Amino acid sequence: MKKVRIGVVGLGKIGAEHVQTIKKIKNIRLTAVCDQQKKLADKISDENNLTAFYSTNDLMNSAEVDAVIIATPHYLHTPLAIDALNAGLHVLCEKPVAVHKADAEIMIAAHKKHPKLKFAAMLQLRTSGYWGKIKEIIDSGELGKIYRVNWIVTYWFRTQKYFDDSPWRATWKGEGGGVLLNQAPHQLDLFQWYFGMPVKVRAYCSLGKYHNIEVEDEVTAYCEFKEGFSGVFITSTGEFPGSDRLEIMADRGRLVCENGKIIFDRAESSVNEFSRTTNVAFSVPEIKTIEIKFNEKKGVHQNIFENFADSILNGTELIATGEDGMNSVELANTFLYSSLKNVTVKLPLDSSEYAKLLLNKIRRT
């Protein structure tokens, strides 16, 4: 079987996990690892009988890899992805694909110059049976017209020690944001995958409300979509116990996705039509409660790696492209922009305006 030769760039928490995941994959061969921390690169290369690199330039020009997975701190995603594409390598980039939209735009422009190369994003929740089933239900139209969406994603509790242990985290300069850039990008991706991009946003972000950090650790965002429905997205790293509850109110009832269960309170007919046509003042539509079943599929990171390699070898469509990855970045940036400027934002976000705002935050801290 033909295999894609891959190098892992950045061997921290997730990079080290990717090394183990890739070893299980049939259509990929891990050939090299790279980290600027020599000891770490040597340790992982020795344990796995791989070539170690301490500089990304050396790895990218080594002819030992066809592709890289970029698993470094966020700001490096942009320059490293561009370097890799220019070196003729396929790129799988960790989330968030970039810290801000302008950076994502230059990555996409670099990819356009190399259309034969694959540029994918590690947005692995798209491959989960649970989240995939929800997408299927929404796309099938069986919910009818959507009226309102609420997503509370507050299970991202983090301690002060977590932030203190990695100096790049939770700073404007090192990470470019907080919960929106680090923990919630996966749900922001699903939010836009399910419902599209909003046309208008008003958000409130609390900076360092629960932790001694510069950036946001609690967010409430109100979004309006072109179809006329509204969405509220709430996230936090300060609360415990947290929730992960997605509620979709629609004309054919309510879908509640929580605790790994998908519950559909299905109205037997259109709720709106019932309301308009019934001649009984205090009546309600008939509802049937159904638990919707789904199958889980392997590990979610593994699914993305396999799809990336399959796309390189056989032209299979990517589950999440680098271009798709820009949407969750734009949502995160828009929420922060709206809150920091105290304004309602019409999308698309002006990427250079946001880049200026972020630069000012970095300069002031």
Ligand X SMILES: NC(=O)c1ccc[n+]([C@@H]2O[C@H](COP(=O)([O-])OP(=O)(O)OC[C@H]3O[C@@H](n4cnc5c(N)ncnc54)[C@H](O)[C@@H]3O)[C@@H](O)[C@H]2O)c1
Query: Which parts of this chain interact with ligand X (CB under 6 A)?
Result: 9-15, 34-37, 40, 56, 71-74, 76, 94-95, 122, 124, 166, 182
CB nearer to ligand X: pick between 347 and 362 = 362
Q: Report the distance separating Cα 94 and Cα 102, nearest Å.
A: 17
DSSP 185-218: HHHHHHHHHHH---SEEEEEEEESSSSS-SSEEE
Q: Report the residue closest to ligand X, judged by CB.
A: 12
Q: Report the distance separating Cα 215 and Cα 336, nearest Å.
A: 10
Please state the closest distance from residue 258 (CB atom) to ligand X, in A.
21
CB nearer to ligand X: pick between 76 and 108 = 76
Q: Residue holding tokens 């796995």?
A: 48
Please state the closest distance from residue 83 (CB atom) to ligand X, in A.
10
CB nearer to ligand X: pick between 124 and 302 = 124
Please state the closest distance from residue 104 (CB atom) to ligand X, in A.
13
Q: Can you give the C-alpha Rg of the chain in angstroms?
A: 22
How are beta strands 244-250 and 253-258 bridged, if at all?
antiparallel
Please state the closest distance from residue 32 (CB atom) to ligand X, in A.
12
Name the helix (H) or strand (E) containing 262.
strand 261-267
Contact 104, 98 (CB under 8 A): yes
Other C-beta atoms lying within 10 Å of the C-beta of residue 253? 22
Please state the closest distance from residue 127 (CB atom) to ligand X, in A.
11
CB nearer to ligand X: pick between 16 and 262 = 16
CB nearer to ligand X: pick between 12 and 144 = 12
Write the DSSP symbol of residue 126. Answer: G
CB nearer to ligand X: pick between 74 and 266 = 74
CA torsion 83-93-12-79 (nearest 10°) is: 30
Please state the closest distance from residue 177 (CB atom) to ligand X, in A.
11
Write the DSSP symbol of residue 321. Answer: B
